[in-house]
Structure 1
């Protein structure tokens, strides 16, 4: 006759087996739902044909990515109904003066731009990363998830996001900064990125633009790549990554969205950064994305409204964010190390500057105007630094992750 202890043990064993079985069934069901139906596959192929415009010339890199040279006026951007009669701007009417000064600091890092195996498209064309069917499904997921800021927290019950950033909550026409480049570890259902973001509004009225680097395994094989992301309605119906949908006007023949940000920084070793400029043209109102002196492209003013980014931004973010399914621990951010470890160990954004709304010129924001935000400081944090040169306004950010909810 079994004892009370052995009976309890048997019950626990049965419960454990049932739990594992139910989990496996749920996971199998989830995987079946993720496999596109025949109808969905037809729709995906239709989307793919619309996204990938006919190329005059193509290049394949050592990592297996394909870049197409598309006639500038035939790129996907102009499929947007608001851009049907848009006049292409080859360059902004004015470029904010970039004042970089590393001579006053013992800290040094190398600035990208980076290239795709020395690829340059012919005159009259722009370089665009070709989207594959395998990439389109996670791209659609990224689009539906959206990029959520401290003022617009992720409400998706199946996922969560965490951030660590510096903010500037005053009217501006854009921002600049050197974004330290890393390749944080992520699983297939996660992404981790660092960016400069500008925004105005809240809720369904939120309009925002982000630019920097992102690591998303399903999309870029754990590599850090150049990205932009924008929305005009708080991620309700709009929310677009790179050139997945009409809107972003590519003008560069050398540097494509989705291109590798390389080389990347190493712990206690050589540091690399992107000199990112995200600002509104004072004449046309278009929002330009620059990497150092290279004009990548812009989002036309006509995509935004007066309550949003048509007349400048009301808040700027510099820092990082991660996304993860609630079923697993959150991924690392930045270098995967906390800010207190400092230079060469923690990720940073230095050279923080904004384009003042009243003066309409680049200024170094007052120290008191830069505030720090970190929603899960035990997993990710941010620290402000006030120094000299490019380190006169800077933040260290990131962490190892491991948060669960």
Structure 2
């Protein structure tokens, strides 16, 4: 029970699924009706996209039939309604932009508040004209009647206090080729049908774990939108967002540790990442940051 709506004891009958209600206000916040439910377009005077990352990833020559990890849940502050902050696991064909992904996100434009929410996304053309979040377009097929995609996650981690994380697994069905989404210990949420993807009919060539924010430079300086907990990795346990027990699915449908993932931060003075490995957490990393600060302008 990781979503607030379940605390009331409410459940959906067998053969149905719970769907977050779309309100008029949700549609009005979108860039346009055509882009409702899709990744926001970031309009910047510069040539950069405005998307900034701190991620751990792995790419060929191996093929990836899935990825799994546990990530801490925080409620980062977001500077404007045009920005978002998310943590995600994604698999894709590196050159071709085919992506199924899932995890948690704070997006005022999409959801109308700053609560972290469980989300899915897919695209087969690098976000140009296909795909959407959650169930806002045909694509992802939900099979679970106890989880709402797009609902708030509760409780969330507390600075210097109790930490909460969720475990996500995306894996390719070897018989039908669908990409399944699994939550926690064996709870199937649903799947991305194989026909959605031209190139991910084959296994993925890249897996990625980590954080992403949008920096619109709202007043000419770097945004103060937070990633993760809003603190840098060096500030230590119980204060910093993390991914732990990073694993991938091999050709024989086995989960194996993701060894020595590459760690990259686009702008480490704004959002950084540091990794390690131990017996309890396997391969892990801390990541995040406050955005604008004395070294990030």
- For the superposition of Structure 1 and Structure 2, which TM-score range results when normalised by the shorter chain? 0.7 to 0.9
> Hey, which of these two has a bigger chunk of strand by percent?
2
CA distance in 1, matches of 2:229, 2:134: 24
Q: Figure out how many residues of one structure are paired with residues of the other and give that number.
A: 280
Q: CA deviation at 1:288?
A: 1.0
Q: Match of 1:114? A: 3
Please point out which of 101, 114, 120 is paired with 1:222: 114
Q: CA RMSD in A?
A: 2.2
Alignment deviations for residues 367-405 of structure 1 (CA, whole Å, 9 cap, x no partner): 3xx10011000000111111112x111010100012878
Q: Match of 1:105? A: none
CA distance in 1, matches of 2:287, 2:102: 17
Task: List gaps (5 residues or longer) in structure 2.
Answer: none
Q: Match of 1:348? A: 242
Q: Match of 1:291? A: 183
**Structure 1 position 300 matched with structure 2 position 193:** yes
Q: Match of 1:365? A: 258
- 1:183–1:215 CA contact under 8 A, matched in 2: yes
Q: CA deviation at 1:282?
A: 1.4
CA distance in 1, matches of 2:4, 2:103: 15
- 1:285–1:300 CA contact under 8 A, matched in 2: yes
Q: Max radius of gyration: which structure?
A: 1
Alignment deviations for residues 86-106 of structure 1 (CA, whole Å, 9 cap, x no partner): xxxxxxxxxxxxxxxxxxxxx
CA distance in 2, matches of 1:244, 1:138: 14
Q: Match of 2:232? A: 338
Mean CA deviation greater in 163-172 or 130-139:
130-139
CA distance in 1, matches of 2:19, 2:181: 15
> Hey, which of these two has a bigger chunk of helix by percent?
1
Q: Match of 1:387? A: 278
Task: List gaps (5 residues or longer) in structure 1.
Answer: 1-111, 148-153
Residues 364 and 159 of structure 1, relative CA distance in 2, 3 Å threshold: closer
What is the DSSP-based 3-state SS (H/G/I as helix, E as strand, rest coil) of the residue aligned with 1:126? Answer: coil
Q: CA deviation at 1:146?
A: 6.6
CA distance in 1, matches of 2:166, 2:200: 24
Residues 400 and 383 of structure 1, relative CA distance in 2, 3 Å threshold: same
Alignment deviations for residues 105-125 of structure 1 (CA, whole Å, 9 cap, x no partner): xxxxxxx64352332100111
**Structure 1 position 182 matched with structure 2 position 182:** no
What is the DSSP-based 3-state SS (H/G/I as helix, E as strand, rest coil) of the residue aligned with 2:201? Answer: helix
Higher RCO, 1 or 2 (CA under 8 Å, sep at least 6)? 2
Q: CA deviation at 1:251?
A: 0.9
TM-score by length of 1: 0.65
